[in-house]
Structure 1
Amino acid sequence: MAEKHVIKISAIISFFKDDEKLIARGENALESGHLNSTTFDADLSILRGSSMRDRQYSVEVSFNSDWNIVEATCTCPRGQLRCHRMAAVMLFGHYNVSVTDKACSWNLKNNSKSTVQNISELYPLKPHTSTPRNLTEDEINLFKTKLKLFNGTVGFSWLLAEEGENKTTKLIIDVETILFNNNYLQSNDKRSFMKHQLQVTDDLILKVVEATVGQIRNECWLIYRKHRLTASNFGVVLAASKRNRFPPSLFKQIMGES
């Protein structure tokens, strides 16, 4: 740290008066270790610095006899005007150049890593087990049996079901299938296409009622109601349609977020 500052903060602010934000950016670059080396020549009243990170840019700052900044250049694309690299070098000079300094130089510690790591190296997989020991086949089967005792649909029941155990024949097409259908995506009138695909007959309605007995305990009920207006929400939707007002709270209620 300089005993008595030669390069005044006021001189730096005056130099960047048309774009003072560059001073803050330069300060951030200096604190982040983007300045590699700096040289000060008191006889020539010149401060030089090299920066930054991936590309090497050279900065040169000239002062008059009163240590006001006369000129600054940088080899970066913006260097003929003003850039934050100039500000970083000036700020370093403010903190480190004193009235007793003659020609001197500093090599700044570079904190950046020279090696590039991939994701697996940055976040190595850690061994994980959900149980303190490996379970026996009998214990796993017992767990599956106990899951079936729940009076409702449990995610694990489906995940642990034997392959081919749950064979559900869809009576009606679900909304999600339509949304990802190529014919729907390429349709010029998506509303009409959706309306046509969702049409059901009275006989089909009765079949769906029969197939979804038990509601939450029935897998078909979960499939058919997905992305559809159910009876519990139909009344509020009709009321909103009559008022022609659809507040955000209505959509939250439909999506089950309220």
Structure 2
Amino acid sequence: MADLPEDSFISHLIELRTRLIRSAVAFVAVFACLMPFSSRIYDILAAPLMRTLPAGTHMIATGVVTPFFVPIKVTMMVALIIALPYLLWQAWAFIAPGLYAHEKRLAAPLVVASSLLFLVGMAFCYYFVFGVVFKFIAEVKPESVTVAPDIEQYLAFVMSMFLAFGLTFEVPIVVIVLVKMGLVSIEKLREIRPYVIVGAFVVAAVLTPPDVTSQIMLAVPMCLLYEAGILVARMITRPTDTHAIQARD
């Protein structure tokens, strides 16, 4: 006797609950291992700014419990990044049985590539952008101003920049998905290139601090990644797919 729809639905809910529990346990385990080093982890995150501050200058905490909770928030972010491969594997194990073979061949590389690109965007922001931006701010500030950043505001700034650059590095994935789904052709993507360049600088102006340096550092990689997405999409797209898109247009 075939399973009833209700039984199938309940079994999926049970499996989803199991996957979520495993993911939560993995995250908590990583966080517990990192918790004793939370202060050191925050110091590493603050290193790009501290290198640009005058000698003897320190960051400040205006809240009573801020020195405790801010490092914990940073540690949670690091724990999430470390546990991300396992979390993605749990998500993949849940959705993979419902996909067709060709969908699996496309989805798995895209999930891995999007995760890696997001991390690469964060690394680019930390190792390159922060140093340039903080140095620029330190050089243009008035001599009468003493810089003493608040650690909570610094965390908010860092998180927004990480998110902006992480999402920016997802541009190739978006381009590839649009082409593979037949929503746009490669020739059309090339035609709208000037509009994409203008849009990249507009997005950079909205997402980054109001200085030209950080805006250029976000807009230029966005344009280059757009070109990379077109190149990869052309390599993995069959000629028949391209002709079908053109015929539909």
Same-fold call, TM cutoff 0.5: no
Normalized per residue, the structure richer in strand is 1
TM-score for both structures, normalised by structure 1: 0.19
Larger radius of gyration: 1
